[in-house]
């Protein structure tokens, strides 16, 4: 930013009436020429001089920005005094998904990592007093950003134990798609050296330190990497390196970062348009094509039989998918999820039995519109029908004749509990729901619910409000006739732990489905 100062150039002259002789031999009276100049300056029009001060933070590009310079045509780079902001759509120029043999049926969709949802990298990284390791932390979200604007996640997936590379979940570039159809890498993108140049960083960790390929800038492989997969170069500056074995890139953070809910905070959020799907047994992705702008084809086989997902993304973020199988073609259209509004809306047209290449329609021949019920899958996944799923489009309902076994409360109300709509129920979400329900009944705010308070309607629209009221005797563990806030939260945590079989603090879609009583 340029700052201008206006300085009036008016000279105020003061003629001091003193003796024309200050001391013997020296006259201090102004000469006629000086008297004329004083009169001119005091009677003439004012003159303004502009003094421009340059703000160096606006003129000097941060050195770390050069990492992303080779992709300047795809990225938007800006900065303030403390952070570099990188905007991208998360889509690389290379093909994606080819070679994956453990696939959850997600496909790459452009993301809006822009504005307030841009990637943020500290310009003045500070070494951490106690560096945190990726083998024990950060199993969610990104830990670095590649030079092409594609995020890089922990090589260990969010179950805290599976090496994604060894599990066959990554393509030839070391990437795959998350539950929001967001493409990201899980290992260092060393292939980018062909573009950024050998000896230059291929990524930047979210603590602000660069990540190089297998060799140092001098072309030699490093021999003194620490437990974080980094070291200080000849210039005395710290940086990380890629390796062919775990941790593959930065094995933690040499610099200070904030960990919140299992990930580096802050960081952008991927925004999906459809629910997460199940893994597809016997699948192998064989091809990726982009026949036109914003149109893509993912080709795959299931036990050797060819299939494909063909999809197009509109400017408004809506997406139309065609799932081509030997049984026919299923077409689905999704509109973007609204923040706080849940999943995208689906218009589905699955194939009729006697119309293998056609589209499935409602009884009146019109396309069927409705909300997708959540954690199911494609026909390949044998997703249950709405009648078999207690979390159908009409929402939860009371037990009905023929409903079968009573299902776990969390399974029935999963869509309501999953506030961030990422198809994962966290411990914080279930505790938050219990806290919200409790507060609705606790009219005197004493953190205790009496029978009188529980007999009221409650002031909260929480999904757990009815459960709290109907199961008060079970929740009251000390049998004192009062439900305390601690008892309500403890009950919610016990319900959560029964379904969270992995004990990682998150209920994954497969754990939720496994809780269903047959």
Q: Please count the other Cβ atoms lying within 10 Å of the Cβ belonging to residue 322.
A: 16
Largest CA distance in the chain: 126
**Phi, psi dihedral angles at 40 (to 5 degrees):** -65, -45
Query: Are 143 and 250 contacting, i.e. CB atoms less than 8 angstroms apart?
Result: yes
3-state secondary structure 209-243: CEEECCCCCCCCCCCCCCCCCEEECCCCCEEEECC
Q: What is the pLDDT of residue 58?
A: 54
Kindly give the pairing relationship between strand 76-79 and strand 48-53.
Answer: unpaired
User: pTM for the whole thing?
Assistant: 0.61
| pLDDT of the residue at 251 | 97
Q: Which helix (H) or strand (E) holds 185?
A: strand 183-185
What is the Cα–Cα distance from 382 to 327, expressed in whole angstroms? 13
Tokens of 290: 């982009």
Q: What is the DSSP code (8-state) at residue 124?
A: S
**C-alpha to C-alpha distances, 51 to 2, 4, 57, 442, nearest whole angstrom:** 10, 6, 19, 64
The confidence score (pLDDT) of residue 404 equals 65
* Cα separation, 32 vs 37, whole angstroms: 9
**Does residue 132 contact residue 257 with C-beta atoms inside 8 Å?**
yes
Among 152, 173, 150, CA closest to 88: 150
**Cα–Cα distance for residue pair 198/216, rounded to 1 Å:** 9
Q: Are 483 and 449 in contact (CB under 8 A)?
A: yes
Stated as kind and residue range, the H or E segment containing 48 is strand 48-53
Q: What angle do CA 369, 370, 372 make, to 5 degrees?
A: 130
DSSP string, 320-353: EEEEEETTEEEEEEEPPPPTTT-SPEEEEEPPBT
pLDDT at 439: 86
d(CA 238, CA 131): 14
Gap between the terminal Cα atoms of the chain: 67
- Render each residue's pLDDT in the chain as its tens digit; 518 residues: 444 444 444 444 343 344 444 445 555 567 777 777 777 777 767 666 555 555 544 558 999 999 999 999 999 999 999 999 999 999 999 999 999 999 999 999 999 999 999 999 999 999 999 999 999 999 999 999 999 999 999 999 988 999 999 999 999 999 999 999 999 999 999 999 999 999 999 999 999 999 999 999 888 899 999 999 999 998 899 999 999 999 999 999 999 999 998 999 999 999 889 988 888 989 999 999 999 999 999 999 999 999 999 999 999 999 999 999 998 999 999 998 654 333 344 444 444 333 333 333 333 332 323 333 333 334 444 333 333 333 333 344 444 445 567 889 898 888 888 877 778 898 888 988 888 888 888 888 889 999 888 887 665 667 788 888 889 888 988 888 899 999 999 999 999 999 988 888 889 988 898 998 87
| Entry field: residues in the chain | 518
Q: Which pLDDT value is given to residue 365?
A: 31
């Amino acid at each position: 930013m340029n700052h201008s100062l206006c300085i009036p150039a008016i000279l105020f002259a003061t003629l001091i009436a003193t003796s024309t002789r200050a001391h013997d031999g020296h006259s201090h009276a102004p000469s006629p020429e000086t008297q004329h100049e004083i009169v001119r300056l005091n009677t003439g029009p004012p003159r303004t001089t502009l003094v421009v001060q340059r703000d160096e933070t606006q003129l000097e590009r941060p050195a770390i920005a050069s990492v992303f310079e080779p992709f300047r045509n795809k990225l938007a780079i800006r900065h303030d005094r403390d952070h570099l902001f990188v905007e991208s759509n998360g889509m690389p120029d290379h093909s994606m998904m080819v070679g994956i043999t453990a696939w959850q049926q997600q496909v790459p969709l452009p993301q809006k990592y822009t504005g307030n949802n841009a990637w943020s990298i500290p310009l003045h990284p500070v070494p951490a007093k106690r560096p945190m390791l990726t083998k024990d932390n950060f199993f969610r979200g990104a830990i670095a950003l590649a030079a092409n604007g594609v995020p890089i996640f922990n090589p260990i997936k969010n179950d805290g134990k599976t090496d994604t590379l060894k599990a066959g979940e990554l393509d030839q570039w070391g990437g795959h798609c998350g539950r929001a159809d967001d493409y990201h890498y899980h290992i260092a993108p060393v292939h980018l050296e062909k573009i950024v140049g050998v000896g230059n960083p291929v990524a930047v960790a979210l603590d602000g330190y660069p990540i190089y390929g297998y060799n140092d800038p001098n072309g030699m492989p490093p021999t003194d990497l620490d437990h974080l997969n980094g070291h200080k170069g000849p210039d005395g500056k710290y940086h990380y390196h890629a390796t062919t074995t775990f941790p593959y890139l930065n094995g933690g953070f040499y610099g200070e970062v904030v960990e919140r809910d299992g990930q580096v905070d802050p960081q952008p959020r991927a925004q999906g348009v459809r629910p997460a799907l199940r893994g597809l047994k016997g699948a192998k992705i064989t091809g990726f094509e982009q026949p036109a702008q914003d149109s893509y084809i993912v080709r795959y086989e299931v036990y050797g039989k060819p299939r494909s997902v063909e999809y197009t993304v509109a400017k408004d973020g809506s997406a139309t998918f065609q799932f081509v199988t030997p049984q026919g073609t299923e077409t689905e259209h999704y509109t973007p999820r609204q923040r706080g509004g849940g999943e995208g809306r689906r218009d589905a047209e699955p194939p009729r039995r006697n119309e293998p290449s056609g589209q499935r329609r409602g009884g009146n021949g019109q396309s069927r519109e409705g909300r997708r019920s959540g954690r199911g899958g494609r026909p390949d996944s044998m997703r249950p029908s709405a009648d078999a799923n207690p979390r159908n489009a009409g929402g939860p309902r009371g037990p009905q004749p023929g409903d079968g076994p009573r299902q776990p409360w969390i399974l029935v109300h999963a869509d309501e509990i999953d506030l961030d709509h990422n198809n994962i129920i966290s411990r914080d979400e279930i505790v938050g729901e219990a806290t919200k329900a409790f507060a609705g009944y606790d009219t005197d705010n004493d953190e205790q619910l009496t029978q009188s308070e529980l007999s009221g309607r409650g002031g909260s629209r929480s999904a757990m409000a009815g459960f709290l009221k109907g199961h008060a005797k079970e929740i009251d563990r000390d049998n004192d006739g009062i439900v305390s806030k601690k008892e309500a939260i403890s009950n919610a945590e016990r319900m959560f732990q029964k379904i969270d079989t992995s004990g990682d603090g998150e209920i994954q879609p497969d754990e939720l489905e496994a809780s269903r009583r047959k």
